[in-house]
Structure 1
Amino acid sequence: MGQPQVLRRQNRQQVTEELFRQPSLTRPQLAERTGLSKVTVNAIVQELQRCGVVTLQGGEPQGCGRVPQQVALHPRLGLVIGLDVQRGRVLHECRTLAGEGVSQGEVPVGGELNETVSGLIRQVCADLPLWSVVIGIPAPLGDAGFPAEPNALPELDPARLRQELGPALHFENDANLAALAAAAELPEFAHLAVLLERRSGTGLGLLLNGEVYRGATGRAGELGRTPWPTPRGHEAIEQLPETQRSEATAYALAGLSYTLDLQHVLIGSGAPDSPELLRRTAALLPAGVTCSARTSCAELVCAGASLLALSLGRHRLQERLNTLSPLLPGETHVA
């Protein structure tokens, strides 16, 4: 690819990124924010308009001068969806590529889990392009990006979903997604841990220096499987009786806080002992490390899934713009 083409692609990416941050801007504003000339911005906007990425809208009057047009992301540009899948129900959160919320909700699993998931996606997507789907699962990820062992949701058939949705589909561990959502809510903390206590097990999402930590084999965060001494030998923490589990979990979280020099620990648990777990954990943490609790694990996971889907969907759009092909065929499809 020649240098002018590379530069043109970089300029398109700059303009599109600015519209992701602020979905409606005038061309002078885009030129000011990107540092590009007004002539360059005008040419890029025309390209993006031909591809169906942006639309021009009337702006607000400014004195006696001409009303500036707003460059806005096309309302039919497409969607991204994040899902939290657990046995018996699926939670979803749908956004536009501009980041605006479209819908969210929960559906019960009345039959086959795969049919529930794919049916929900088709319903939410309606007749708009679908750029990215992220499914939160109670399992680590293997090398191919599919659920690996230990997998608490074996009834989900990821290969079938990938065949249906193609490269738009991504899986992610539910605790990791909760950590991403917590990082967005608590941007002052670059080093944090999020504990999830769910029916599917106990997991931990770790965010170190702003990045999700996966470990050597992708299985980081399986705190619930940590062995704990009992009169019978040792048992996994998540298998302990309620009182013992609370104590063991608190000590494990405190140990991680000391070892990894964490800044914050968030406890996501709807269990009856969650206030006790928060109290125990807070008492054991190093000085300066804060601790908080959330009662809704599912909403945290779903928010993280939609945030990751948004990032991946925007990346796919930028890649597609390299070809400058039209993006709005006018029918339901996976982009």
Structure 2
Amino acid sequence: MTPTRPGGTEHLRRQNTALVLRSLRTEGAATRTELARRTGLAKATIGTIVAELGTGGAVSEDQSAPSGRGRPGRPVTLTGESIIGLGFEVNVDYLAAVALDLGGNARISTIRQVESAGPPSIGEVISLVTETRDSLIAAGHSIVGATVAVPGLVAHDNRTIAWAPNLGWDNVELAAQLEAVLGGACPVTVDNDANCAALAEAAHGVSIDVPNSLYITGTVGIGAGIVHDNLLLRGGAGFAGEVGHMPIGNHSRVCGCGRLGCWETSVGLRAMLAAVGMEEESTPLQTAVAVAARAAHDAQTRAALTTLGHDLGTGLAALAAVLDPAAIVLGGYFVPLGAYVVPAAGAVLAERLPSASIHLPQIRLSSLGIHAAALGAAERSLSGVYAGTVVL
């Protein structure tokens, strides 16, 4: 399974195949006649493509359905259980892995707490990638791509971590190292964790119904994934979404980037823990669950979370005024604390957003849990198949 290059008839065939795959993924199973209608391709072309995809295990036809003159055709279904896109997330205190098959089903979904006292080492990442690869190969799967989500800036090559202050990584050529681990069997890319989580929400989560959304991570750092007309908005250098470093936080606190007053110094995970006087647990979600349990019977904790919600809403109002999202999705540690944080954030958003009387973005809580970024990374790894640039 290798990348393709534009080249006349062969390139056209790849693009037509990708068109059929996209139709099956987004619109569901269909007969060959229905696929021809959906895609605008000739029925004979559809027949050739379906036969090839069936041989490769990407689709199946319901052989039990009657077929023939005057009868409905057999439905073609996107299966692809053995065709895998890999997604990983590297965060300050945990690592995550998701293996997604071509039909969008998770074959592996795992979380690993960082073993070291500080951020994870490259060796820990390599260990997780190796174990995941070995498990998939042993089960007979074929990996078409891998993407790593990181909390930081990724260079335009989508392979190099330019700056990830909370990890302490600068100019790390992570993709090249992981391609060596995978034996050169598939391409590896690197992307921002918020971008990946935003993709996951748009494909599997609570923003699937809107073309324009804003995803906010809730971990040690705060980042945003911006989806505009169903596409990620990346900016001129690919660094769009570094909202955690907007200078609207507590100006007496030093951020992980070394500056004073970044937004995450007021609404990041550790800022929240300092406000409620609790210790961090193994993952941001487990930490937030413990805080929510205390808030249920402790007025001071609830008051601290209300203040945090106010600070969160101030930043959301600024972002919504610029981006005009239909929905704002809160992920990570914000989810278990939604009952205490969202009302205050929503009130500030309604008060501070100039267009609130005409359009007020909905604040939604992520439904994907801590695997959101890794799931989105896995989706990104399958994108070459749906774009026709990877040969099945």
**Shorter chain as normaliser: what TM range?**
0.7 to 0.9
User: Is 1:112 aligned to residue 133 of structure 2?
Assistant: no
The within-5 A match list for 1:1-335 is 8-21=13-26, 25-48=30-53, 58-61=63-66, 75=80, 77-110=82-115, 112-126=124-138, 127-145=140-158, 146-154=160-168, 158=174, 159-165=176-182, 166=184, 168-184=187-203, 185-199=206-220, 201-228=221-248, 232=252, 234-240=260-266, 241=271, 242=275, 246-270=309-333, 275-285=339-349, 286=353, 287=356, 288-289=359-360, 290-294=362-366, 298-315=370-387, 318-321=388-391
Counterpart residue type for residue 342 of structure 2: L
Question: In the superposition, relative to structure 1, how do residues 232 and 65 fare at CA in structure 2: closer, same or farther (>3 Å)?
Answer: closer
Which letter maps to 1:42? G
Residue 347 of structure 2: SS of its match in structure 1?
A: helix
2:154 match: secondary structure: coil
Q: Which amino acid aligns with 1:210?
A: N
Give unmatched runs, 5+ long, in structure 2.
Answer: 1-5, 116-122, 254-259, 276-303
1:223 deviation in Å? 2.2
Q: Which residue of 1 aligns with 2:285?
A: none
Q: Which moved more, 1:123-132 or 1:230-239?
A: 230-239
The separation in 2 between residues aligned to 1:29 and 1:296, in whole angstroms, is 33
Name the % identity.
26
Is residue 176–residue 206 contact of structure 1 (8 Å, CA) maintained in 2?
A: yes
Spell out, residue by residue over 1:164-193, the C-alpha distance to the aligned partner (whole angstroms, 9 max, x if none): 344521211111122222333323433322
Q: State which drifts further: 75-84 or 224-233.
A: 224-233
Q: CA RMSD in A?
A: 3.7
Give the aligned residue type for 1:284. V
> For 1:74-97, what per-residue CA distance to the aligned partner results, in whole angstroms no more than 9, with x for missing partners?
756521122222244322222221
8 A contact 2:161–2:173 mirrored in 1: no
Measured at CA, do residues 19 and 112 of structure 1 come closer, stay the same or move farther in structure 2, by a change above 3 Å?
Answer: same
Change (3 A) 1:120 1:157: farther
Aligned-partner Cα distance in 1 for 2:316–2:14: 46
User: Amino acid of the residue matched to residue 61 of structure 1?
Assistant: P
Q: Deviations over 1:280-328 (max 9, x none)?
A: 220122323221234875232233223222323433xx3354xxxxx5x
Tell me how far apart the structure 1 counterparts of residues 263 and 7 of structure 2 sit (CA, whole Å).
58
Q: 1:235 to 1:295 in 2, by over 3 A?
A: farther
Q: CA deviation at 1:57?
A: 5.8
Following the alignment from structure 2 to structure 1, what is the Cα–Cα distance between the partners of residues 21 and 114? 38
Q: Which runs of 5+ in 1 are unaligned?
A: 322-326, 328-335
| Contact 2:332/2:370 (<8 A) preserved | no
Q: What SS does the corresponding residue of 1:118 show, helix, strand or coil?
A: helix
| Cα distance between partner residues in 2 of 1:150 and 1:29 | 47
Look up the SS of the partner of 1:143 in the other structure.
Answer: coil
Aligned AA (2:102): L
- The CA deviation at 1:137 is 0.9
Give yes or no for contact 2:249–2:263 (8 Å, CA) kept in 1: no
SS for the counterpart of 1:202 is coil
Change over 3 Å in CA distance of 1:181–1:235 after alignment to 2: same
CA pair 277-49 structure 1, distance change in 2 beyond 3 A: closer
When structure 1 is superposed on structure 2, of 27-36 and 115-124 the one drifting more is: 27-36
Evaluate the alpha carbon distance shift between residue 279 and residue 76 of structure 1 in structure 2; reply closer, same or farther with a 3 A threshold.
closer
- Secondary structure of the residue that 1:58 maps to in structure 2? coil
Q: Secondary structure of 1:217's partner?
A: coil
Closer, same or farther: CA 109–122 of 1 in aligned 2, 3 Å: farther
1:139 maps to amino acid: G
In structure 2, C-alpha distance between the alignment counterparts of 1:31 and 1:106, rounded to whole Å: 42
Q: TM-score under structure 2 normalisation?
A: 0.67
| Counterpart for residue 330 of structure 1 | none
Q: Which amino acid aligns with 2:208?
A: P
Alpha-carbon contact 1:178-1:205 (below 8 Å) kept:
yes
Q: 1 CA distance for matches of 2:338 and 2:75?
A: 49
